[in-house]
Chains A and B, each alone.
Chain A
Amino acid sequence: MSGIVKPSELTVLVVDDDPVNLEFLKRLIAKTGYRTEGVRDGPACIEAAIRLAPDLILLDVYMPGMDGLEICRILKEDERTREIPVIFVTASEDKGMVQRAFKAGGADYVQKPVNRIELQVRVESVLNRKRLLELALNEKKLQGSLEMAGAVCHELNQPLQVVLGYAQLIRKDLPRDELLDTLEKIQTQIERMGNITRKLMSITRYETFEYMGGRKIVDIHKSSNEKTRREA
């Protein structure tokens, strides 16, 4: 994700059981340039959250049936919707409610009657926070890829060197027994590479070690497949 995202590329899902309130909130959000979608109850919210993958959900706390806190807890339990930040809309002055809203996984809250500027500032701030988190996560993923690439180079270039060398030696006139011996060495190294790639593919959790120049690379011998570890 690039650093700059236009508001028109971001979707805010607004959830309120009252059709007038819903329309009002949608308009406030749309004025800032965000795309909006509206739904009026919990099940519709959860379905829309999965289907649309919105960038933010503006969620009314008090609704008949499933209330906002419960909806939020469900969203946070589902890995498809866990990362979507939720801003609660509450009529309550109750500090306990604010605490419960954050505990349910809310990123922020606004109080009714909703002030346009305040809503816009909070939405923007939550979206910025999300963007920074995504950037940090991407950075971590890139780091992980580099550590893995390092391990692949480190592990495979050794046997490749042996195979290449012996393959070239075969071109010289070797006596038959030496030739067979050399072919066997090549085969052993190819099998070793096969084991390395199999190991790499099954890694679910990895450890790194410090390579030269302070760079870290994946230690494929210490890394493991969680499934086999549990069985062990």
Chain B
Amino acid sequence: MEKRILIVDDEKMIRKMMNQAFSMEGYRVYEAESGEDALKLLANEKAQVMFLDLNLPGMDGIELCREIRKSFPLAVIYALTGYASLYELADCREAGFDDYFTKPASLDVLSRASREAFERLARWQKRDKGLS
């Protein structure tokens, strides 16, 4: 299974930097600059792990996560935020985020998070196969 990561951030430089970092680790990386773009992209492509910026123009990261969860209940979705209160972090949990990271987040932390996410997904798949 090809490991695919989606990065949603309205800031181009952040997308490019994360794309480079994850590509170097062998992941296939998709980028979207808004929630609307991300949903369009996900209609055709599949990503197992996603990093969503919370403060997006138009649909915000929390709404986007709720939308994605409807079609991808098993995806591992992380929030990446520049400025969030406890109140919003509670909203994140409720919207279905698996975890959150505050900017600036270390690439070591983000890559560990994606590694663990894929390990978790692999365990789920094994279980699925075992059941069938």
A residues lining the B interface (CB < 8 Å): 150, 153-154, 157-166, 168-169, 172, 185, 189, 211-213, 215, 217
Contacts and interface: CB of A to CB of B under 8 A. Distances in A.
B101 to A, nearest CB: 10
Nearest to A172: B24
Contacts of A217: 83
Nearest to A165: B17
B82 interface: yes
A185 B16 CA distance: 11
Contact of B14 (A161, A169, A212, A213): A161
Given A165-B21, A185-B13, A211-B55, A157 B103 contact: yes
A212 B62 contact: yes
B83 A165 contact: no
A169 B21 contact: yes
From A157, A189, A217, name the one whose CB has the most chain B CB atoms within 10 angstroms: A157
Q: Which secondary structure characterizes the binding site on chain A?
A: helix
A153 B55 CA distance: 12
Nearest to B101: A161
A164 B104 contact: yes
A168 B108 contact: yes
Q: Give the most central of A158, A160, A217: most B CB within 10 Å.
A: A158
Contacts of A212: 54-55, 60, 62, 84, 88
Closest 7 CB pairs of A and B: A157-B82, A153-B83, A160-B104, A165-B17, A157-B103, A161-B104, A164-B104
B107 A158 contact: no
B11 A164 contact: no
Given A157-B104, A213-B91, A162 B13 contact: yes
A164 to B, nearest CB: 4
B18 interface: yes
B105 interface: yes
A230 B91 CA distance: 43
Contacts of B106: 164, 168
A213 B94 CA distance: 14
B125 interface: no
